[in-house]
Amino acid sequence: MNIAIAGAGISGGYLAKLLEQRGISPDVYDGMDHDTRCRCRSCGWGVPGGIETYLADIGLDLNEYLIESMSPMNFDGLVAKTPLFTIDKPRLLRNFSKGIRLKRQNLGQEEAEDYDIVVDATGISRALLPPCRSDLTLPTLQHRVAVEPHRSERLGAGVYGNRIPGLGYLWIFPVGNHHYHIGIGAIGLDRLDSLLDRFYRDSDGCYSFTTLCSCQGLIRVASPYYSTPFYERRVRKDGTSQVIVGIGESIGTVSPFTGEGIVHSLECARIFADSLPDYERYTTSVLARFSWMKKERETLNYLLSREGKGRPRLRDRWRFFCNARRSGIGLPMLEAFKRIGTLSQWVEGQDQGL
Ligand SMILES: Cc1cc2nc3c(=O)[nH]c(=O)nc-3n(C[C@H](O)[C@H](O)[C@H](O)COP(=O)(O)OP(=O)(O)OC[C@H]3O[C@@H](n4cnc5c(N)ncnc54)[C@H](O)[C@@H]3O)c2cc1C
């Protein structure tokens, strides 16, 4: 059984390590043609403390990657304790690829013919699997910014739905040395750059901002349920069969509300390694493990619909609260219900004529 993994990002790199531990040596392909300064796919680098066990499983120590704690964090004016922090993701990816057979080229359909199993870990590209049954992507724009406070107070970590007209949010993630990832993700808005500029203008009484680099990207917020099929059996030119199977963001293991995909993609890779070669079991396990993502996606569908432009329903508010609780964020329930952040803005933005 020979295996190729297309993509040496979070899910593909981690899977390669897990398979090596099980005595399977995959060929890993990644052209790494990212036009970002960090040479990675654009990402905020924010993760919850739960990442520690995934790293420990492959002999890595989280402390070597920690950059900054994001506790406390501001959620549209509500300040809460969180178990979130930023990590040096480029360094983590470099360490994933140590000791594995990495080919610095993309895997196309032609080369994929050589393998019995091809894992599509190509993230948003989903380069080898057929299209998702109902895809949904969130356009983003992110800057790395040096921030200097005019007075003594540092810029704190935060997520703000109330700065975005429509369905989206702005994030401020500290990444060390007074540098920050400041980004916007929003569905249905073209001018993300002017919204970021507005944030800098609004804040320039307190801070001065120097943009160091900028990247754009899409996040698959479709949920796994709407990103099926997860695998496809094909017959190769020589008549033998082959399986193409997706892991990570290629099959939507990302929170539709927050765009958080790092830990969920690690979990997905782990489920895959534990299920191999039972693809039905893998599919069932991923759908069960991430069933809450289906509900979040359905809330997005509702809010994007004509009907949903009225007001988030009780169930949408509850899903938002559950999302925060799942990430270990201590938002008080009643406050979270009243000020539902990214979701309420859909309503408040319209009330304010934004
Ligand atoms: C602006 C932005 C901010 C984000 N912030 C966060 C955050 O703070 N926290 C969080 O948890 N998540 C965040 N995410 C989401 C997170 O980055 C992804 O969900 C996660 O990286 C998915 O991992 P993956 O391995 O599935 O895909 P990716 O990390 O996208 O990796 C896919 C890899 O496949 C490679 N590839 C593509 N095509 C081919 C091919 N044909 N052959 C071989 N290789 C190929 C690419 O080069 C890439 O290295 C953010 C996303 C964006 C866009």
Cα angle vertex 248, ends 244, 253, to 5°? Answer: 125
Q: How far apart are CA 139 and CA 102, in angstroms?
A: 30
Query: The domain spanning residue 152 has which CATH number?
Result: 3.30.9.10
Query: Within this chain, do residues 128 and 143 fall inside the same structural domain, yes or no?
Result: no
Per-residue pLDDT, 334: 66
Nearest atom in ligand 1 to the alpha carbon of residue 219 is: 53
In a domain, 65, yes or no: no
Cα of 133 vs centre of ligand 1, distance in Å, is 20
In a domain, 302, yes or no: no
Per-residue pLDDT, 283: 98
Query: Within this chain, do residues 253 and 150 fall inside the same structural domain, yes or no?
Result: no
Bridge partner residues of 78 (DSSP): 75
Q: How far apart are CA 324 and CA 332, in angstroms?
A: 10
Task: Choose one of 40, 105, 125 to mutate for the ligand 1 pocket test, by most ligand atoms within 8 angstroms of C-beta.
Answer: 125
Q: How far apart are CA 104 and CA 33, in angstroms?
A: 9
Last residue of a domain, one of 198, 220, 242: 220
Q: How far apart are CA 137 and CA 157, in angstroms?
A: 25
Query: Within this chain, do residues 118 and 229 fall inside the same structural domain, yes or no?
Result: yes
Inter-CA distances, 354 with 130, 165, 307, 345, Å: 39, 6, 19, 10
Per-residue pLDDT, 159: 92
Quick check: CB of 327 below 6 Å from ligand 1? no
Per-residue pLDDT, 35: 82
Quick check: CB of 10 below 6 Å from ligand 1? yes
Per-residue pLDDT, 261: 98
Per-residue pLDDT, 235: 95
Query: Within this chain, do residues 142 and 182 fall inside the same structural domain, yes or no?
Result: yes
Q: How far apart are CA 266 and CA 153, in angstroms?
A: 36
Entry pTM: 0.95
In a domain, 76, yes or no: no
Give the rounded distance of the alpha carbon of 140 from its chain centre: 11
Query: Within this chain, do residues 11 and 153 fall inside the same structural domain, yes or no?
Result: no
Quick check: CB of 27 below 6 Å from ligand 1? no
Query: Within this chain, do residues 276 and 162 fall inside the same structural domain, yes or no?
Result: no
Quick check: CB of 6 below 6 Å from ligand 1? yes
In a domain, 26, yes or no: yes
In a domain, 301, yes or no: no
Last residue of a domain, one of 204, 220, 236: 220
* Number of domains forming the structure of the chain: 3
Per-residue pLDDT, 168: 86
Buried-state track 280-293, b at ≥16 Cβ within 10 A, e below 16: eebbebbbebbebb
Query: Within this chain, do residues 167 and 264 fall inside the same structural domain, yes or no?
Result: no
Cα of 350 vs centre of ligand 1, distance in Å, is 33
Tell me which residues of the chain have a pLDDT lower than 50: 344-354
Query: Within this chain, do residues 186 and 211 fall inside the same structural domain, yes or no?
Result: yes
Per-residue pLDDT, 244: 98
Query: Within this chain, do residues 261 and 148 fall inside the same structural domain, yes or no?
Result: no
Last residue of a domain, one of 220, 248, 274: 220
pLDDT digits (tens, 9 = 90+) for 254-275: 999 999 999 999 999 999 999 9
Cα of 239 vs centre of ligand 1, distance in Å, is 34
Quick check: CB of 293 below 6 Å from ligand 1? no
Q: Looking up tokens 């400041």, which residue turns up? A: 182
Per-residue pLDDT, 339: 64
Inter-CA distances, 228 with 135, 231, 247, 249, 292, Å: 10, 8, 11, 12, 16
Nearest atom in ligand 1 to the alpha carbon of residue 185 is: 1
pLDDT digits (tens, 9 = 90+) for 280-290: 999 999 999 99
Query: Within this chain, do residues 97 and 198 fall inside the same structural domain, yes or no?
Result: no
Query: Within this chain, do residues 279 and 315 fall inside the same structural domain, yes or no?
Result: no
In a domain, 298, yes or no: no
Quick check: CB of 183 below 6 Å from ligand 1? yes
Query: Within this chain, do residues 228 and 213 fall inside the same structural domain, yes or no?
Result: no
Buried-state track 117-155, b at ≥16 Cβ within 10 A, e below 16: bbbbbbbbbbbbbeebeeebebbbbbbbbebeeeeeeeb
Per-residue pLDDT, 250: 98
Nearest atom in ligand 1 to the alpha carbon of residue 128 is: 41
- Tokens matching residue 56: 């420990």
Q: At what angle do helices 342-351 and 314-326 cross, to 10 degrees?
A: 140
Closest to 221 (Cα-Cα) out of 137, 303, 296 = 137
Give the rounded distance of the alpha carbon of 246 from its chain centre: 16
Q: How far apart are CA 231 and CA 279, in angstroms?
A: 7
Quick check: CB of 184 below 6 Å from ligand 1? no
> Which residue range(s) make up the domain with 328?
308-351
DSSP letters of 110-175?
HHHTT-SEEEE--GGG--SSPPPSS--EEEEEEEEEEEEESSSPPPPPEEESTTSSSEEEEEEEE-
Per-residue pLDDT, 66: 98
